[in-house]
């Protein structure tokens, strides 16, 4: 068979000559504008490490829903807490490794919507809220919708609010309250009508607090790099010991206290500003 003398093994590959895999890689590549050294550049690809944590959080949230559908509500609740831990790590890893990106921020927000919006609402509904009928799924939907609104508002307020405070209850804390309630009450076989009403209140209140203007302490001004007194480390160790005794109850008390701190502090600030009568 004769060889074309005009053909070279080093000729550039034409678009029509690309194999399917190469064409897919080229057309699906993520390209975003970034600023480096005061100049705007076009960057291809995504950072693996922080997005790996985000993907793991997303998987945990989805696994929580699958576990709830299978009737394993303890595992479902634990999966939401695992998603919460992973969500707290992805941003910190991105900052420590200088791998922040707009893609990562959007991906993290979508992951949060599933893990801290859809998953807790669905887990609570499948466990007990469905027994209340239409009111149950309406309240579950209210929680999911409020989580979406909370995340959207948070995204547009970045850089314009004091980092020391969250405006509204953070969605991971709302999810933790719902998950801890399901975990605790399910462990004690609490299926009386009173507990159904209590869960209805917990899920609905968590949703409303997310879209409220109540301020919550963000802990972002805590210096984790500086030295601290030895007693602080001892207190952390004791905290882990106490939580390990009865994890579901201790986590419910912990996040219940944080959720209640916002309204309590808001009332105290209002009373402080109100002049004394007489």
Task: For 18-31, write each residue's pLDDT tens digit.
Answer: 666 666 555 566 66
Tokens representing residue 88 in the block: 């707290």
- 41 close to 33: Cβ distance less than 8 angstroms: yes
- 51 close to 110: Cβ distance less than 8 angstroms: no
69 to each of 30, 74, 175, 188, how far by Cα in Å? 35, 12, 18, 20
What is the structure's pLDDT at 278? 45
- 113 close to 62: Cβ distance less than 8 angstroms: no
Distance between CA 207 and CA 121 in Å, rounded? 10
Percent of the chain with pLDDT strictly greater than 70: 78
> 90-99, 148-157, 204-213: which range is least confident on average?
90-99
Distance between CA 255 and CA 206 in Å, rounded? 11
pLDDT in tens, 200-257: 999 999 999 999 999 998 877 666 667 778 787 888 888 888 888 889 999 999 999 9
Number of H helices and number of E strands within the chain? Answer: 10, 4
| DSSP secondary structure letter of residue 117 | I
Percent of the chain with pLDDT strictly greater than 90: 50
Q: 36 - beta bridge partners?
A: 39
What is the structure's pLDDT at 47? 76
The pTM of the full predicted model, rounded to 2 decimals, is 0.82
42-273: CATH architecture = Up-down Bundle (1.20)
251 to each of 177, 181, 262, how far by Cα in Å? 8, 9, 18
Query: Residue 277 above 70 pLDDT?
Result: no
What is the structure's pLDDT at 215? 92
**Closest of 67, 83, 78, 72 to residue 251, by C-alpha:** 78
Distance between CA 201 and CA 12 in Å, rounded? 65
Encode burial over 122-132: b for 16+ CB neighbours within 10 A, e otherwise.
Answer: bbbbbbbbeeb
What is the structure's pLDDT at 238? 87
Average confidence (pLDDT) over 122-148: 95
Q: Average pLDDT over the chain, rounded to whole?
A: 84
What is the structure's pLDDT at 194? 83
127 to each of 105, 133, 199, 207, how far by Cα in Å? 32, 13, 10, 18
Distance between CA 270 and CA 267 in Å, rounded? 5
């Amino acid at each position: 068979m004769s060889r074309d003398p005009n053909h070279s093994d080093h000729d550039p590959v034409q678009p029509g000559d690309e194999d399917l895999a190469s064409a897919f890689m080229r057309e699906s590549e993520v390209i975003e504008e970034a600023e480096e050294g005061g100049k705007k550049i076009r960057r291809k690809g995504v950072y693996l490490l922080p997005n790996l944590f985000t993907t793991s959080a997303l998987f945990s949230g989805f696994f929580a829903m699958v576990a709830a559908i299978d009737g394993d509500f303890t595992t479902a609740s634990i999966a939401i807490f695992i998603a919460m831990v992973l969500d707290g790590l992805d941003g910190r890893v991105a900052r420590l490794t200088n791998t922040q990106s707009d893609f990562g921020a959007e991906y993290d927000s979508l992951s949060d919507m599933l893990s801290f919006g859809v998953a807790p609402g669905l887990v609570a509904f499948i466990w007990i809220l469905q027994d209340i009928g239409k009111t149950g799924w309406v309240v579950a939907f209210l929680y999911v919708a409020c989580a979406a609104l909370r995340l959207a508002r948070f995204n547009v307020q970045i850089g314009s609010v004091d980092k020391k405070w969250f405006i509204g209850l953070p969605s991971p804390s709302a999810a933790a309250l719902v998950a801890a309630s399901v975990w605790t009450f399910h462990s004690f076989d609490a299926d009386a009508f009173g507990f159904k009403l209590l869960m209805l209140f917990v899920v609905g209140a968590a949703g409303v607090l997310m879209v409220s203007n109540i301020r919550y302490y963000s802990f972002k001004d805590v210096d984790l790099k500086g030295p601290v007194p030895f007693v602080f480390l001892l207190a952390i160790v004791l905290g882990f010991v106490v939580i390990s005794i009865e994890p579901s109850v201790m986590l419910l008390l912990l996040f219940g206290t944080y959720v209640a701190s916002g309204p309590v502090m808001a009332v105290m600030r209002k009373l402080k500003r109100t002049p004394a009568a007489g």
